Amino acid sequence: MSALWLRKKWSDIEKAAGSDDLTGISNRTSFEKTLEQEQRRAGRYHYPLTLCILDLDNFRSYNEQFGTKRGDELLQQFAAFLKSNVRSTDCVARYGSDEFCAILPHTDLVKAEKFVSRVLAQAQEMLDASFSAGLTAYRAGETKGQLLMRAGLALHQAKREGKKRICCLVGGQDNTVLSL
């Protein structure tokens, strides 16, 4: 066994540990580490950072109607679709069973909403599935938990308003949700 072979094996193990087994994109643990790194960078260099939480609409019903195998295939297709639509500097991850997150560095809410709107329209056509999304922009000094909570609140608003929509949480007191 050479040192080069061991380094490659170790690299392969590290990569697998940061990936979701089903979809192959980043898993929750890897995503949260990346989010903290991007928050530090955005704070240090004063650039915009947007967090998106995307949730497949009616996934439980889809699984019940078509079975978990088809549900898994839909998750894999959706993950591949998201990954193919982001920049190399963005991070896409599976956050929960049918919940995905995207970290968009150097992207303000307006640009992020345009991106997610385009993805929403294409997903409906290509995958015969829809999703709802919650977006929010990073505020200097806030924690990962605060940022995730605000994006989650925007997502819940999108779901309450009938799904297949995007909501952005804005305002200094988190009191304004824009539905798009």
Tens-digit pLDDT profile for residues 139-179: 999 999 999 999 999 999 999 998 899 999 876 555 555 55
Q: What are phi and psi of 162, to 5 degrees?
A: 115, 5
- Nearest-5° angle of CA 145, CA 151, CA 155? 135
Q: The tokens of 24 are what?
A: 């192959």
So what's the pLDDT on residue 176? 52
CA–CA dist 1, 33 (Å, integer): 32
pTM: 0.87
So what's the pLDDT on residue 11? 56
Q: What's the one-letter identity of residue 5?
A: W
Q: Residue 153: which H helix or E strand, with range?
A: helix 144-160
CATH number 3.90.700.10 given to 24-179: no
pLDDT tens digits, one per residue of 4-59? 776 766 555 555 568 999 999 999 999 999 999 999 999 999 999 999 999 999 99
CA dist 15 → 12, 91, 115, 136 (Å):
5, 14, 27, 28
Q: What are phi and psi of 52, to 5 degrees?
A: -120, 135
Q: Are 61 and 117 in contact (CB under 8 A)?
A: no
